[in-house]
Each structure stands twice: as C-alpha cells, then as structure tokens.
C-alpha cells in the first residue's frame, strides 16, 4: 500500500501554485447507454472491465477526502502520480485532496501484475471513467437536492455551482452517495483540452518525502516489536542440505529462533546485525550436497542452440507470394547474455502473523494479488489468510526478488506469531539468486533485391523463459522449492500474441514481403530467469536493428533512409525522423574513431514508439567505447505527464547502455559468480552520456506504456555506432574493452 | 551505550560496539534516508556525513563515531523544509525510484561544502561511486549544479 502523506503534497502544491478551474458537464455516451438499455453489460475501459464497481476505485468522504484505490503499484516510474492527475482532473478536485491506496489486496481493485507497460493503458482509463462517473452521480444528486436540472453545473475543487445560482458540494452530498454500484460506461470523460493537470509537467508526489528523509520504502518500515530475519541460501541452485547443527547459532546473541524446514534455513533475531551474524554462522555450519550442472556463461549460447526446445512456435509465417528470387542472401547471428535486474536496494519485506491467523506482508512485489495466493499455498493456508500490501521498494525493472523476500519474511514470521519480522537480502543473495533476463541467440537471414531491399526476412530465436512470476503458485517462490515438502516449479509458458514473451518484438515492424519468425522456447533453465525490462524485446530489437544496419551498409544506403524504405507506419516514420533531426544526422561529420548509430522499435508492436540515435568514440588501442551523446524520440500516445515519460525514456536508455556496454551474468559449472557490483559492474556517472529526449504528443490518442520502449533501440544504436566507428560488427554484448579490442585485432 | 551527535542533537544508542552505523541509525534511532544497498562500500546508498566527510555507514562500526558528528538526509532540512540541494533535486525531478537519492544528496553536499562551484566533471567524479540503476544520473548532475548556482 503506498500512501503519500496528503499534507506534504498540499504543501508542495501551494508552493507550485494551484489553480482551480471549472468545467462543463460531460455528455453521456450514447453507445454505452444503448448497450445498458439492451440489458447487456457495457464494455468498460481498461481494468474496470473486471473491477466494475465504482466503489472499488473511489471513495468520497464527508470530510473532504477523496480516496483513489488502484491495484497497480508504484515501481519508481511515477505511474501513481499520473493516475492521480487523471483522477483530480476528471473529478474536478484539487490534486492535493486525492489520497491514494495502491496494491493492498484487502482494499484495492485486482489489477493483476504491474508490468509490461500496462499501467497506463489499463489503469489510467479505468480511473478516468470512475472519476467521471462519480462526478456525474454527484451532479445528479445536487440537481435533485436543489430542484434544478442536471445540466449546466460546474465544479471547482468539489464546490458545485448549478443553474440559477444553485450551490452544493461533494462533501455535503458524500454521506448519501453510494458507490456500491457498477459503472455504466455511459459518462463520457472530458475533452483532453479541458484537463488542468493531465498533459502538464507535474512533479512526482513522492519525491519531497524521499528527498528529505521520510520513511517511504518498505526497507524503512519499523513497526513496534520488530524482529529481524535473514535466510541462508544453498551454495548452488539444486543443492540439498545434508546436515546442519543449529545449536551454536541458537546460542548467539539476540537469536530468537532458527527456522529449518527441509533445505530452507533462516533465523530471526532481535537486531539486524545479529541476524546477519547468525545466518553467516549457519551458512558455515551447513553441509550440502551440490551438483555440477551448469553449462557456464561462455557455453550458454551453444547450449541454447543444442537443447531441445519444449516448443517450436511459428510466431509469424508469411512466405512471399511470388515475385523474383532474391539476388543475394545475407545472414548474421546475435547473442544476448543473461542480464540482472540489479536493484540498488536489495529486496525486503515485513511480515507479521496476527492473532486472527492472517499473515500480513508489506512488500514491494509487482503482483500483490497473485503473490499473496502463492504464499498462502506455500504456507498451506486459505488465501484469505494472507494479505499483501504494496509499499515502494528500490526500482525493480521486472520480476526481481521482491516476491521471494515476501515469502521468506512470511516463513520466518510464521515461526514467531505476533511479532513483525523484517528481512532484507544481502547483496550477494540478490545478485546470485534473482531471476535474470534470459540469454538468447537470434539468427537472422535476408534475401534482398538488386537495390538491397529486403524480399524475404527470416528470424529464428532461441530462449529460455521470460516469465516465472509467482502467478498464484508456490513453486515460483524460490524458498518454497527447498522446503521439506517442496513445491515444484510449474513449467513456464511463453506468452502469446499480442504481447509475446521470448518473441516479444521478434516480428519487425517493417513491411517485408516475406517475413517469418520462429521461436525455439526452451523450458530447461540452467540459471533462474524471469521478466526483465522488455523481456525478449531487448535482444530481438538488438538483432533486428543491427541486421537492418548490416543490410543498409551492404546496400550502400544511409541506415535511416534504408529503414524508411521498409516502414509504412506513419508514427514509426515520425519518431525515426525526429530522432535523426534532433541528432543532426544529416549534418554529422565523420571523424576518426567516431561513429553514429540508430535503433528503432515500437515496443511490443502495440505500445510506445522509440528511436534512439547516438554517437560513440572507440579507442582502437584499448578497445574502450565511450558514448559521446544520445538522443531519443518517443511517441507514447496522449502524454499524461511529459516529464515522467522523458524520465522513463532517459532512464531506460541509460540502463540499456549499461547492459550493452558492461553487463553479463557470469557462472561456472556450479554457481553464479557475479555476486556484487565489482563482479557485475554497471554504468556509473563518468560513463553516462548527455541524453536528449524529444516527445511527440498525440492528444486524444490512447495512452501507450513507455517504461520499456528504449531498451532495444538503445542496444542496437550502440552496436551500429560501434560498427560505424570501427568497421567491425559486434554481435554479442557486452562491448567491454577486452571484447572490442579482440574484435578489432582479429 | 554510544553517544554521538546526530543531525545536531546529542543521541545515545544502546547497541553493540561493532554494529554497523547504518543499522543503528535505521533501527535504534529510527532515522531514514541512509539505506542498505550492498553492505560492502560498493554503492553509496548508505552515505552519511561524519564530521562533514562522506562515509559509507554500512561499513563503519557505530563505536567509531562516538563523540563525533553524524548528519543524515533529514539533518539537511531547514526547519523541516528541504534544503537548497534537496529542493534542487525536487526541481530537477532527479530520480525515478529514489532509493539511491539519499546517498547521492549526502555525497553531493560534501562536494558542495568543499567546492561551492563545481563543474559538470567535478560532480560526475564526486558521485562516480554512487550507483543508480534507474538512470537518473544526468538529472542528479543538473540538480547539484543548480543548487550550486542558486546558493
Ligand atoms: S550499502 Fe553502503 S555502500 Fe552500499
Ligand atoms: S533513482 Fe532508482 S536507483 Fe537511482
């Protein structure tokens, strides 16, 4: 549950200067009304379709409070600020009044997981509709009360003015307002031009607290009577505990309880450092049976191509229909190593087993609803006995260890009923045990005509899963697999259209006459994997956009012109042109050691458009790649909070540069050896280039998710720029000095 | 019992001598801001000022600050209001998740105390040991430069 202290926001807004405007009443939507009359349930927008009651989304208090309830949660991208803006605008209240409750399984509408850039498309329209309908209901009540018609009312921060000077207010009507009713879908939201907060630069509501030292993160919760937990992880993925003498640890200072259940070992202590020390002692005392089964990080690409896939999926099959044969065929293979989420704060949770038998868990999980069910299954209790409340954590960029921390805190809290237990993983645990973004191999092949244009395009990819989220099953929680009665991990599925998973963005947006995409989906998992920002999109776009560059070069055509030749989508063409113009593509002068590159994608082919152009300098002596500057152009549909979108695009771009320049999860035949920031380095201030983000606004167009749009285009733009600078094509990241130097001298 | 000055006030902590300062700040004294990120001086999330110098509180024993002065994020506020530097972070919207921000602000404060007119390169080199995974680096640099300009 994320609660932003209303007082701070009001204070901040005063400083920012708040204005109150009035709006005309929106007209009813004839189509939805007709559906309602015909007795059919109207189709409701976004997640309102499955959470139909107005009261699931909004509460209006007689005391002037407006409570917005959402199932989506804040992951550090400002989503909650954006939906609060929409709510305040549709309801005509000052934004400082809106108190938000998000991701509390006991109160919030079930909106599933917060991921995949779905928050804006699914949550925002629901909030908009709920607020518009509640406003309309209040106006009907005001009309009835004052005996005036329902037309012609305006509202300013809850104060209502009607025909002939009639007055009313939300707050005096609140007690008679029942929101225990389904939305009708018949109220039309406002015209975008009439929004006061939406579309404007709006500061994040949670920043003042975060920047002045208020408790804002789950890591900062400290309820009364708090105890501290730690767990002991096995040395390898499949290790079994064969012997453990707990007696010494039990006698250590502050130790309240040692928990041992099968191969799961944990400890609860009075103080945090006592828990850490006891866990270290337990780890030293434990005897394990370990396996040697990993293909190693150098062998993984062979392994991916040799392992029998659980499924071979024809993601797209569109053979060319007649025409001349290709005059030439080009081929290339691209590789993506495993990448880490690498949250700066290790995952944490606070759990307490109440006297009523309910386990309440404060967690930064992205999927509070499914995770609470998975934990109930692990604990062997009814799902009503587990409540998860979302509290913000460190940025996660996908399925990190948030859910595991929630489960582990629950396992420990179950051993000390009535006492809250807080658990925060060590850096080594987070690095070695989080579910990584899967390694992938992508083979591309193109048959081209005499001008070098693509006639036949074939892409074949090899990947392990990209989704092992809890999904209401205990087997997806790490520790549940080590219990005395272990839960087996369900076999992961590859997501199908329209979002896809391993094959996300495997289908290029270009209009190739022949276009086939084949997905080898491998469910064996040598190392743990799950959703990492963009899923397969990063690697697929890296491959597609690198290969487009190779084809352009082979054809002797400018890479931007080459892309535009193959792309009809007008919004796609616009972002490419915008990126090129902002970069100064046409005026750019080649200098020795410098190169420029472009990359483009429409995320999932249904979300935000993004094109990235950047310039690099490659030191040919030591192989060091420096990104000199980067620009990104993006189209996210109707912009709710432009600065928020810029922030996400820039952040995604920098993270993708880090992946592509520096990152690879290393493992030998037994264990992951990337165990901290020295063995798994990421981009730092000195390496971060200036970034310029330009946005194309599409007022009235659907909201498109943005958080993952920059990942693929950035990686490809970097590879293309390095090729431009050196004449050598690098198809496997990371572009470390060693790898680049070796490539240049090969 | 260890006594030291925390954000200008004398405090006593009933903690073992070798407890990390970070845990004592968080758990004994209820101070937020400084956060656990790595516990091994690699990320900077736990940065506080000790006698005005930036220090990694995860790797410092509490006993070593006995009788000294420790400042955390809350200690920078002026009458409960954001300091110039904190306000500059708000004005530049210099974060995404904000987990790294406390450490960034403390490290930057130490820089500004030493060098009130830093260049872009000065800021980057002073903050190079503070990790951010959200990619807020350029906004952070702008915030620090803005605070310097407005001081
Ligand atoms: S937590 Fe202290 S440096 Fe990372
Ligand atoms: S803002 Fe999230 S780690 Fe820096």
pLDDT at A10 over 50: no
Looking at domain B84-150, which CATH architecture does it have?
A: Orthogonal Bundle (1.10)
What distances in angstroms separate CA A680 from CA A279, A286, A428, one per listed residue? 24, 27, 11
CB within 8 A of A251, min separation 6: which ones? none
For residues A193 and A567, the model is more confident at: A567
Q: What is the pLDDT of residues A412-438, one digit of tens each?
A: 999 999 999 999 999 999 999 999 999
A651-669 pLDDT, tens per residue?
Answer: 999 999 999 999 999 999 9
- The pLDDT score that the predictor gives to residue A7 is 32
Cross-chain Cβ contact A654/B135 below 8 Å: yes
Q: Which of A237, A350, A236, A230 is nearest to A282 (CA)?
A: A230
- Given a cut of 90, is residue A141 above it in pLDDT? yes
Asked, for residue A517, whether it belongs to a domain, the answer is: yes
Average pLDDT over residues A395-402: 95
Strands (E), A531-624: 594-602, 609-618
Exposure class string for A378-402: b at 16+ Cβ within 10 A, else e? bbebeeebbbbbbbbbbbbbbbbbb
Tell me the mean pLDDT in the region A186-215. Answer: 90
User: SS3 string of chain B?
Assistant: CEEEEECCEEEEECCCCCCEHHHHHHHHCCCCCCCCCCCCCCCCCCEEEECCEEEEHHHCEHHHHCCCEEECHHHHCECCECCHHHHHHHHCCCCCCCCCHHHHHHHHHHHHHHCCCCCHHHHHHHHCCCCCCCCCHHHHHHHHHHHHHHC
Cβ A75 vs Cβ A395: under 8 Å: yes
| Residues A108/A70, Cβ–Cβ less than 8 Å | yes
Is the confidence at residue A509, as pLDDT, over 80? yes
Select the more confidently predicted residue: B13 or A121.
B13
Distance from the Cα of A206 to chain B's closest Cα (Å) equals 9
Q: Cite the DSSP H helix spans in A159-307.
A: 170-173, 207-212, 247-250, 272-285, 300-306
pLDDT value at residue A117: 63
Q: State how many domains chain A has.
A: 3
CATH number at residue A7: 3.30.365.10
Q: What is the pLDDT of residues A214-227, one digit of tens each?
A: 999 999 999 999 99
Confidence band, pLDDT 50/70/90 cuts, at residue A151: very high
Mutate to test the pocket of ligand 1, among B25, B48, B59 (most ligand atoms within 8 A of CB): B59
* pLDDT tens-place string over residues A435-471: 999 999 999 999 999 999 999 999 999 999 999 999 9
Percent of chain A having pLDDT more than 70? 94
Identify the CATH number of the domain defined by range B2-76.
Answer: 3.10.20.30
> Ligand 2 mean position to B96 CA, how many Å?
6
Residue A9 confidence (pLDDT) = 31
A7 CB-near residues (< 8 Å, 6+ apart): none
Is A296 inside any structural domain?
Answer: no
Residue B35 CA, closest ligand 1 atom number? 1
In the predicted model, is pLDDT for residue A517 greater than 70?
Answer: yes
pLDDT band at A16 (very low <50, low <70, confident <90, very high): very low
If you count residue pairs, one on A and one on B, with CB atoms under 8 Å apart, how many are there?
A: 176
Q: Which atom of ligand 2 is nearest to the CA of A343?
A: 3
Write out pLDDT tens, residues B103-121.
Answer: 999 999 999 999 999 999 9
Q: CATH 1.10.150.120 in chain B, residues? A: 84-150
Residue A554 placed within a domain: yes
> Looking at CA atoms only, how far is residue B67 from chain A in angstroms?
22
Q: Which of A355, A348, A361, A351 is nearest to A413 (CA)?
A: A351
Q: Are residues A133 and A194 in the same domain?
A: yes
Which pLDDT score is estimated for A703?
Answer: 85
Do A191 and A255 lie in one domain? The reply is: no
**Which range marks the domain in which residue A616 is found?**
440-466+501-745
Do A524 and A621 fall within a single domain? yes
Residue A322 lies in a domain: no
E strand spans, A354-453 = 359-363, 386-390, 421-424, 440-448
pLDDT band at A23 (very low <50, low <70, confident <90, very high): very low
Instruction: For residue A77, list chain B residues with Cβ-Cβ distance below 8 A.
Output: 96
A52-56, A181-185, A188-192, A436-440: least confidently modelled range: A188-192
A712 in Cβ contact with A537 (< 8 Å): yes
The answer, for B26 touching chain A at a CB cutoff of 8 Å, is yes
Q: How many alpha carbons lie under 13 Å from residue A177 in its C-beta half-sphere? A: 25
A231 and A153 both lie in a single domain:
no
Pair (A450, A429) in one structural domain? no
What's the pLDDT score for residue A17? 26
Judgement on whether residues A235 and A197 belong to the same structural domain of the protein: no
Mean pLDDT across the stretch B77-93?
95
Would you state the pLDDT for residue B47? 98
Chain B: residue whose CA lies nearest to A225: B27
Q: Give A-chain residues touching B100 at CB under 8 angstroms.
A: 344
Contact by Cβ (8 Å): A197, A91: no
3-state DSSP call for residue A412? helix
- What's the CA dihedral at A294, A296, A301, A305 to 10 degrees? -30
Tokens of A664: 């690879």
| Distance between CA atoms of residues A500 and A519, nearest Å | 11
Q: Ligand 2 center to residue A84 CA distance, Å? A: 22
The pLDDT, as a whole number, for residue A6 is 33
Give the model's pLDDT for residue A80.
Answer: 84
Helix axes A537-555, A642-662, angle to 10 degrees: 80
Residue B95 is encoded by which pair of tokens?
């974060």
Q: Exposed, middle or buried by CB within 10 Å (0-12, 13-18, 19+), for A308?
A: exposed
For the question of an ipTM over 0.85, the answer is yes
A24 pLDDT higher than 50: no
Average predicted confidence (pLDDT) for chain A: 92
Reported as a single tens digit per residue, the pLDDT across A62-118 is 999 999 999 888 776 678 888 999 999 999 999 999 998 888 988 888 888 877 566
Protein residue with its CA nearest to atom 3 in ligand 2:
B132
Per-residue pLDDT reduced to its tens digit, A328-339: 999 999 999 999
Q: What is the CA radius of gyration of chain A?
A: 27
Taking residues A42-59, report their average pLDDT. 92
Residue with tokens 């110039």: B84
Is A592 in the same domain as A563? Answer: yes
Q: Does residue A381 sit in the same domain as residue A259?
A: yes
pLDDT digit string, tens, across residues A267-307: 999 999 999 999 999 999 999 999 888 999 999 999 999 99
Q: How confident is the model at residue A2 (pLDDT cuts 50, 70, 90)?
A: very low
- For residue A75, what is the nearest residue in chain B, using CA coordinates? B97
Beta strands in A262-358 (DSSP E): 264-269, 287-289, 311-318, 328-336, 348-353
Testing ligand 2's pocket by substitution, the residue of A219, A344, A651, A677 carrying the most ligand atoms inside 8 A of its CB is: A344
Percent of chain A with pLDDT over 90: 84
- Judge if A412 and A556 occupy the same domain: no
Q: What is the CA B2 to chain-centroid distance, rounded?
A: 21
pLDDT number for residue A400: 97
* DSSP tag of A39: T
**CB distance A110 to A46 below 8 Å:** no
| pLDDT in the model for residue A360 | 98
Residue A5 confidence (pLDDT) = 36
- The model's pTM is 0.91
Which residues contact ligand 1 via a Cβ below 6 A?
A: B 36-39, 41-46, 56, 58
Place of tokens 């002596």: A621
Round to whole Å and give the CA distance between A609 and A579.
11
How confident is the model over A505-531, as a mean pLDDT?
Answer: 98
Do A215 and B141 lie within an 8 Å CB cutoff? no
For residue B14, give the chain A residue with the closest CA. Answer: A271
Residues A514 and A539 in one domain: yes
Regarding predicted confidence, which is higher, A563 or A110? A563
Each residue's pLDDT tens digit, A595-626? 999 999 999 999 999 999 999 999 999 999 99
Q: Measure the CA–CA gap between B77 and A212, rounded to whole angstroms.
A: 7
Considering A201, A226, A252, which residue would you say is the last residue of a domain?
A201
CATH 3.10.20.30 residue window(s) in chain B? 2-76
In a domain, A490, yes or no: no
* Within a domain: A297: no
In whole angstroms, what is the distance from residue A220 CA to residue B31 CA? 9
Q: Confidence band (pLDDT; 50, 70, 90) for A37?
A: low
Indicate whether residue B66 lines ligand 2 (CB < 6 A).
Answer: no
pLDDT at A12 (0 to 100): 29
On whether both A261 and A410 belong to a single domain, the answer is yes
Instruction: Please tell me whether residues A551 and A596 are part of one structural domain.
Output: yes
């Amino acid at each position: 549950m994320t609660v932003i202290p209303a007082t701070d926001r009001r204070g901040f807004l005063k400083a920012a200067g708040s204005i109150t405007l009035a709006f005309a009443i929106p007209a009813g939507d004839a189509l939805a009304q007709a559906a309602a009359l015909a007795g059919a349930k109207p189709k409701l927008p976004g997640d309102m379709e499955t959470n139909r009651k107005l009261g699931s989304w909004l509460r209006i208090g007689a005391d002037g409070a407006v409570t917005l309830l959402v199932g989506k949660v804040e992951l550090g991208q400002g989503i909650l600020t954006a939906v609060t803006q929409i709510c305040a605008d549709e309801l005509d209240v000052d934004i400082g009044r809106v108190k938000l409750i998000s991701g509390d399984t006991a109160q919030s509408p079930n909106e599933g997981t917060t991921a995949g850039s779905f928050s804006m498309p699914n949550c925002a329209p629901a909030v908009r509709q709920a607020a518009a309908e509640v406003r309309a209901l209040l106006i009907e009540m005001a009309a009835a009360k004052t005996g005036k018609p329902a037309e012609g009312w305006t509202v300013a921060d809850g104060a209502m003015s009607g025909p002939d000077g009639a007055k009313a207010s939300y707050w005096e009507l609140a007690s008679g307002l029942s929101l225990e009713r389904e939305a009708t879908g018949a109220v039309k939201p406002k015209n975008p031009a009439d929004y006061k907060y939406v579309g404007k630069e709006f500061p994040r509501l949670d920043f003042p607290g975060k920047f002045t030292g208020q408790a804002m993160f789950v890591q900062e919760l400290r309820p009364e009577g708090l105890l501290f937990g730690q767990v002991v992880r096995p040395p390898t993925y499949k290790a079994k505990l064969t012997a453990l003498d707990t007696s010494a640890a039990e006698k250590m200072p502050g130790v309240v309880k040692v928990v041992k259940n099968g191969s799961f070992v944990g400890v609860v202590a009075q103080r945090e450092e006592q828990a850490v020390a006891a866990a270290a002692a337990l780890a030293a005392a434990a005897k394990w049976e370990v396996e040697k089964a990993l293909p190693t990080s150098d062998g993984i690409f062979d392994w991916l191509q040799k392992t029998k896939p659980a499924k071979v999926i024809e993601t797209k099959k569109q053979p060319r229909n007649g025409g001349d044969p290709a005059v030439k065929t080009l081929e290339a293979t691209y590789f993506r190593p495993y990448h880490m989420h690498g949250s700066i704060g290790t995952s944490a949770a606070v759990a307490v087993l109440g006297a009523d038998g309910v386990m309440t868990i404060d967690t930064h999980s992205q999927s509070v609803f499914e995770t609470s069910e998975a934990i109930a299954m692990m604990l062997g209790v009814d799902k009503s006995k587990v409540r998860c409340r979302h509290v913000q954590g460190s940025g996660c960029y996908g399925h990190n260890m948030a859910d595991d921390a929630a489960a582990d805190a629950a396992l420990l809290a179950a051993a000390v009923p009535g006492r809250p237990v807080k658990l925060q993983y060590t850096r080594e645990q987070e690095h070695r045990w989080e579910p990584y973004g899967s390694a992938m191999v992508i083979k591309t092949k193109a048959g081209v005509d005499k001008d070098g244009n693509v006639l036949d395009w074939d892409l074949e990819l090899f990947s392990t899963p990209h989704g092992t989220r809890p999904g209401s099953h205990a087997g997806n929680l790490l520790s549940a697999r080590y219990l005395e009665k272990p839960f087996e991990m369900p076999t992961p599925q590859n997501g199908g259209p329209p979002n896809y998973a391993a094959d996300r963005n495997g289908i290029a947006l270009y209009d190739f006459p022949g276009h086939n995409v084949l997905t080898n989906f491998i469910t064996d998992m040598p190392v743990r994997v799950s959703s990492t920002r963009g899923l397969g999109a990063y690697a697929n776009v890296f491959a597609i956009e690198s290969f487009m560059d190779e084809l352009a070069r082979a054809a002797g055509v400018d890479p931007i012109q080459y892309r535009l030749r193959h792309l009809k989508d007008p919004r796609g063409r616009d972002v490419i042109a915008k990126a090129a113009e902002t970069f100064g593509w046409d005026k750019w002068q080649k200098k020795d050691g410098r190169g420029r590159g472009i990359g483009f994608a429409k995320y999932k082919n249904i979300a935000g458009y993004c094109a990235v152009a950047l310039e690099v300098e490659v030191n040919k002596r030591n192989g060091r790649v420096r990104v000199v500057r980067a620009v990104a152009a993006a189209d996210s549909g109707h912009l709710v909070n432009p600065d928020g979108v810029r922030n996400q695009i820039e952040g995604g771009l920098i993270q993708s540069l880090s992946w592509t320049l520096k990152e690879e999860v290393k493992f030998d035949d037994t264990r992951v050896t990337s165990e901290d920031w020295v063995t798994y380095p990421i981009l730092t201030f000195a390496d971060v280039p200036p970034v310029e983000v330009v946005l194309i606004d599409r007022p009235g167009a659907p909201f498109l998710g943005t958080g993952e749009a920059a990942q693929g285009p950035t990686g490809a733009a970097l590879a293309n720029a390095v090729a431009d600078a050196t004449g050598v094509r690098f198809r496997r990241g990371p572009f470390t000095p060693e790898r680049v130097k070796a490539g240049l001298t090969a | 019992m260890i006594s030291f000055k925390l954000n200008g006030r004398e405090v006593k902590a009933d903690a073992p001598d070798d407890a990390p300062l970070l845990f004592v700040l968080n758990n004994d004294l209820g101070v937020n801001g400084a956060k656990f990120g790595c516990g091994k001086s690699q990320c900077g999330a736990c940065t506080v000022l000790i006698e005005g110098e930036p220090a990694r509180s995860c790797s410092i024993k509490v006993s070593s600050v006995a009788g000294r002065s420790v400042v955390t994020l809350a200690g920078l506020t002026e009458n409960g209001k954001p300091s110039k530097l904190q306000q500059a972070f708000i004005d530049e919207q210099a974060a995404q998740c904000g987990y790294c921000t406390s450490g960034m602000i403390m490290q930057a404060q130490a820089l500004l105390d030493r060098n009130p007119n830093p260049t872009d390169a000065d800021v980057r080199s002073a903050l190079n040991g503070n990790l951010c995974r959200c990619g807020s680096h350029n906004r952070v640099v702008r915030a620090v430069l803005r605070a310097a300009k407005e001081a």
